[in-house]
Amino acid sequence: MDIFMKCFNYNTANEIREQGIYPYFHALESKQDVEVIMEGKRRIMLGSNNYLGLTTHPEIIEAGIKAFEQYGSGCSGSRFLNGTLLLHLELEKELAAFLRQESALTFSTGFQSNLGIISAIAGPKDYILCDKENHASIYDGCMLSRATLLRYRHNDMGDLERRLKQVPEGAGKIIITDGVFSMGGDIANLPEIVSLAKKYNARVMVDDAHGLGVIGEGGRGTPSYFDLENSIDIYMGTFSKSLASLGGYMAADEVVVDYVRHHSRPFIFSASMTPSSCASALAALRHLIKHPELPKKLMSNAEYFRKRLMEEGIKIRESSTPIIPIYTYELVTTLIIAKELYDEGVYVNPSLPPATPPKECLLRTSLMATHSYSLIDEAVMIIKKVLEKYDL
């Protein structure tokens, strides 16, 4: 059989396109901001991970331009060889200090970070305990590691303990969880996870891609939020969200970071972060450190948006972060609503199976620290207008 037969037989995307409700690959024609020009029209952006609104900040843009001028457009090699810049080392040092960890290591993307960390730390004789709603990059990292994967029900500590009991005595084990879950916006039960890890002699890794810059003291993320910074073995995160750039990182004890540095194939065999991406992330980190009020403003906006949605009778999934999912239930209805909102000038992300259970589809909305209350009010009224047509 022709290996391309699966491609020839794939019709789902075209069927949705023919219905006029295809929700992906809309082209931006402006900066990623609270208002954007997308395909020729103004849209209120409620579908971005630009939580602190720093992608348009003059300091961040200027840092990227200066790095481009000083170092050129790229490093053309891996960190192992010709791809390490002083900028990489500065970013790692300052990030480790911010997270109150001994050391940090940068990767070219957030997805690559999970692939690189997990596949280096875990091996065929080890066990990984993984929340069912963890990010796809965690699952792919687990597969690359060839460790035994044990999934536990989302944020279900009883099920996690049941899984831990299944691990053979003496086997290496690590619990991996998102800090803030990217679709639901809920926060991992880190206190219980840490308690169980100690009880069963397991390590803990937190993917804090959606926690950094969002929660915790000064935006230090989920471990800080729970005052558990000294109880997490590996921090992982990205620069593509709150830090307004591209790339990812791990932070941990130096001995762990150095092991990954020398054993992670995705790290060793990939070109390093570009100079402009590295400089932009570093500038964003420094800006966050100087302005610890930014995460508070972000949470204030999220609380206001959540309050306004409930005032208008719009059913939302409970969360305490800037990720606020709105229930739309049926798949086709969700796609239609997302398209109508887009046409009315509000951009949101439809969340569909397998990311959600069947008949529990959502519109994933997310706030920025730079949204104004008036812009939030405008978006809420548009959302209400569209949802009322569907008795939602």
Helices 293-311 and 373-388: crossing angle in degrees, nearest 10, is 30
Domain boundary among 290, 310, 332: 290
Residues 150 and 255 in one domain: yes
Q: Would you call 210 a catalytic residue per the annotation?
A: yes
* Catalytic residue of the set 135, 173, 241, 371: 241
How confident is the model at residue 392, as a pLDDT? 83
Residues 272 and 342 in one domain: no
How confident is the model at residue 185, as a pLDDT? 95
Integer angstrom CA distances of residue 356 from 72, 194, 364: 43, 27, 11
Domain boundary among 266, 290, 314: 290
How confident is the model at residue 353, as a pLDDT? 87
How confident is the model at residue 369, as a pLDDT? 98
Residues 198 and 233 in one domain: yes
How confident is the model at residue 288, as a pLDDT? 98
Range of the domain at 353: 5-56+292-388
Q: Would you call 182 a catalytic residue per the annotation?
A: yes
Residues 272 and 260 in one domain: yes
* Strand-by-strand arrangement of the 35-38 sheet: 35-38, 41-45, 346-347
Cα dihedral 281, 287, 290, 293 in deg (nearest 10): -110
Is residue 278 a contact partner of residue 104, using CB atoms and an 8 Å limit?
no
Domain boundary among 271, 290, 309: 290
Q: Give the torsion sign (CA, 54, 71, 78, 174).
A: negative
Integer angstrom CA distances of residue 81 from 109, 272, 273: 19, 10, 13
Both ends of the chain: CA-CA distance in Å?
47
Query: Rounded distance, CA 222 to CA 233, Å?
Result: 13
How confident is the model at residue 355, as a pLDDT? 79
Give how many domains the chain has, as a whole number.
2
Residues 113 and 202 in one domain: yes
How confident is the model at residue 357, as a pLDDT? 83
How confident is the model at residue 160, as a pLDDT? 98
Global pTM value? 0.96
How confident is the model at residue 241, as a pLDDT? 98
Q: 126: helix, coil or strand?
A: coil
How confident is the model at residue 354, as a pLDDT? 82
Query: Rounded distance, CA 169 to CA 139, Å?
Result: 24
Q: What is the DSSP letter of 55?
A: G
- By CB atoms closer than 10 A (0-12, 13-18, 19+), residue 35 is middle
Q: What CATH number did the domain enclosing 326 receive?
A: 3.90.1150.10
Residues of the chain under the 70 pLDDT cut: none
Helix ranges, the chain (H): 5-8, 12-18, 58-71, 86-99, 110-121, 136-145, 157-166, 190-199, 222-225, 254-263, 265-268, 275-290, 293-311, 331-344, 373-388
* Catalytic residue of the set 88, 135, 173, 210: 210
Q: Would you call 241 a catalytic residue per the annotation?
A: yes
Q: What CATH number did the domain enclosing 186 receive?
A: 3.40.640.10
* Catalytic residue of the set 48, 108, 137, 182: 182
Is residue 145 a contact partner of residue 264, using CB atoms and an 8 Å limit?
no
How confident is the model at residue 318, as a pLDDT? 87
Residues 32 and 74 in one domain: no
CB atoms within 10 A of CB 195: 14
Residue 276: closest CA among 23, 87, 51, 2? 87
Residues in the chain: 392
Query: Rounded distance, CA 159 to CA 131, Å?
Result: 10
How confident is the model at residue 391, as a pLDDT? 85
Residues 281 and 316 in one domain: no
